[in-house]
Amino acid sequence: MAARRYLRAGIAAVVLVAAGVAVALLPVRGLLDRFLHWVEALGPLAPVVIAAAYVPATVLFVPGSLLTIGAGFVAGVLWGTVAVSVGSTLGALAAFLVGRHLLRDAVEARLVRRPRFQAVQQAIGQGGFKLVLLTRLSPVFPFSFLNYAFGVTRVRLRDYLVGSWLGMLPATVLYVALGAGARSVADALAGHHGLGPWQLALLAVGIVATVAVVVLVTRAARRALAEVAPPPAEETP
């Protein structure tokens, strides 16, 4: 069983690393430009196609901000937000399930002999909805990384889904609105826009969320370590 766990985890890790390298080397912006021009011609079906495309894009580490901005240009603020919100949540779920079913067993198998790390992992899982929400609001934690990272923790699926959806929604609306105001797909993907008041406000919220995540995880880790730490030896008179 342990050998199978490590084999599955190894294969999954190789595939994920290969996908990340491929995305880094490929002309992603040019491919997205062609894709969005094609989607733009689909009319009412454009939001559906964007939502569906977001799922494999998330799993394969394609930058979500570019696709979100492009969705705003193609589908407008309302339907662009709906498409990205649905697609990004489903994509986050897909990556989470990959992490949970292909990587988590191997991670936990390594933690069996390390009770301190196992306790910390459990504490992070117990952070649940609050921890997921705050990390999604923070600009420090990459979207694609979080999807897989939460998969190997003990966060409940419901907390992960609801926290991810709510935490990603403010940035989704903002970036979709930026794309909707662009003059062309190329301008939308180029991101030639300064920090407006809404972007600054979202950045401020993200900074506060980052600090809250650090405090929350630190406290949870301390409690977990205190539970597994051996009691102090009694002094003999």
pLDDT number for residue 236: 47
The pTM of this model reads 0.73
Eight-state DSSP code of residue 58: H
What average pLDDT does range 60-87 have in this prediction?
89
What average pLDDT does range 82-99 have in this prediction?
93
pLDDT band at 10 (very low <50, low <70, confident <90, very high): low
Please state the separation of Cα 137 from the chain's center in Å.
Answer: 10
Judge whether residue 52 has pLDDT over 90: yes
What average pLDDT does range 26-49 have in this prediction?
84
Closest CA to 129 of 96, 86, 159: 159
Q: What is the dihedral of CA 214, 220, 222, 225, to 10 degrees?
A: -130
| Rounded Cα distance, 180 and 36, in Å | 13
Q: State the chain's mean pLDDT as an integer.
A: 74
Q: pLDDT tens across 114-154, in order?
A: 655 566 566 666 778 888 888 888 877 788 888 888 888 88
What average pLDDT does range 73-100 have in this prediction?
92
Judge whether residue 235 has pLDDT over 50: no
pLDDT number for residue 93: 94
Please state the separation of Cα 140 from the chain's center in Å.
Answer: 11
Supply the DSSP string of 186-233, one letter for each residue. Answer: HHHHHT-----HHHHHHHHHHHHHHHHHHHHHHHHHHHHHHHHSPPPP
Q: Which of the pair, 199 or 132, is modelled with greater confidence?
A: 132
Judge whether residue 59 has pLDDT over 70: yes
pLDDT band at 202 (very low <50, low <70, confident <90, very high): low
pLDDT band at 2 (very low <50, low <70, confident <90, very high): low
What average pLDDT does range 79-83 have in this prediction?
94
Closest CA to 143 of 164, 161, 121, 174: 164
User: Where do the DSSP E strands lie in the chain?
Assistant: none
For the CA atoms of the chain, what is the radius of gyration? 20
Q: pLDDT tens across 142-192, in order?
A: 888 888 888 888 888 999 999 999 988 888 888 888 888 776 666 655 655
pLDDT number for residue 120: 58
